[in-house]
Structure 1
């Protein structure tokens, strides 16, 4: 292999990019470069140029561009010229890389991209130039553009990542209104990128490009599939002239800074990258305040507005802990599962106050007890009790004393 065969003058770079000689390499039509986190650029004569912005790569990787025989034509999008594979094809980027084609370009130019056996995606970031922004490496080709499956009515999307206004992001929910064009099944994809370099994890999930967000609700259609199929964030059976989708974080989770979201629409074997929007999770996202309050970030920093009987501890303003309340209570529960104290011997706790124990209760109902001579007692229902009454009358007048002997009368009462 000769240095000339590697076309070193075409390996342009900034920051870190170096030509790599591969002993024994038989493919003299390819170009190679080492490109790291600082960014770099690689070009193939009469073919594509790819520019990696700083932060697109986490580590230094060998990047290769080589011609291939693939035909990426789909629908109205017809490939113009040859196709090229940018390797390694399993490499996802934290920020999209810019791909351009020089020379003569077809009318309504577009760049087609495909990874493996997946769906072809058309990219048209400009009306008169062949330029695209890709978030993963794969096979690319220049094409004459055709009809896009749908248009995004709201929000206004930026055509290139550099035009995104991160000062006005969508917060917690991305509401996107789409008008399908002659299709009853519409795929909508959201791919999340990390332009701020704030995360060390895949924002769309491992091995996935569309699971960073998920559909929370759809108007104008019904959800028929999610991101697990790998083609889009979700598929919609269209029932109206406009479909409105509310997308919320899924594998993205909570993020500390603004993210870049690419929006794709498609149907069948072709999808279209239609632009970019900024997205962020709010300060109160996923903050439950321990289930006893509501998070409020109107003053800037998030704090919990706790329910009555709960308060945030100094060390954790996003928690609502139960506050024990023993005001006016000597004993019993403090409202948080603890105790306000106990009572002494012979006392009971009654509504927070210690009180003396009541006197013993008497025997039960339907019981009559009479003591004395000639007394019979029966207890319980169907009981007859005989009471004996003895009356003695004594009368004394002057010196004369008259005593009536005891007269006894017996009264029997029967109770049934």
Structure 2
């Protein structure tokens, strides 16, 4: 008996300084993705909305952090209740956790796991904001974010990743957030824009990105941070799975970018910087759920498929008339669906688990499980998000007025502008000489 106890004690996980340091670095990389997203979105809108777009991402770092500490971590990763939600009073306020207490059989502290998952919770509502550019009151967005993570994100995270969550127990594979993050955010975006409606001038006025360099900077930061997002989701690197995910992240992103650019050249005749950035993000999205289950060749296939389908999907808003300002639905919803379903085809059975997809002799069983996960999260997030938006719109109002939208949401909501050209030219003359009247041509320039 004593020897059995000794053996069990020897097999018990112990804190790993290497894995702990690795996960802290990954957490910081995921945090960087939210400012990266802010630049990505901020460059894609017109000048008069760029600060608002930055703030809609940045504010999530404040709101979600506090709610996660107070109760979000407990709801998402506490003891399961009915396969739908978790709860652990020790996690409330992170007050009952020992500093060396390990996370559920792993070699990292609970605190490290909690902060890593916090960064996922932060970026998910920020993703939604891209669909709502130019027209949402900032105060309403703040309240929506707080309600949405409470009602939608925390429960869905438990379904997918929490021990006892119903999708987790079903066997749905979501390595780093295809369902919980990207489908969740994309479906929410669709639900909200169906409630709040289109921008003034949608399909009539040019609404071109004001700064493609900012878009490329944001895409680069996202790509960089995504290595922490994906490789870190194995919570260590003792067995090489995290390394495979790192490689697959790079491979799928490259393939998707090239596929998007190829489609763009054939369809529109040009290779655009916006297409390169969007294609890269599509690949990052698609490999997020699948990269721990496939080979690098499978990652190339997933990237190419996601790049092509997402490039096609972004034009659907003009066909069906929904105003997805920055293509959150076309990239994140479609990319998340593609990546999640393709696990059922390309899983090799030799990386994160022994589950094999159809192309590796596994039949259709895993594809069916993936489909259940995809459409359950999509339906719940779509309906719940639309209801939240409807309630807020009927109480405090979600949209700014038409006049304020035309004037520019930066001035109205933040009393600031992204760029100050008042002192252009400098010198005493610029302070004493009256500005010339605007020409007819200059009046036609889109804000």
Which is greater in Rg?
1
Q: TM-score, normalised by structure 1?
A: 0.24
Which structure shows the bigger proportion of residues in helix conformation? 2
Q: TM-score, normalised by structure 2?
A: 0.23
Which structure shows the bigger proportion of residues in strand conformation? 1
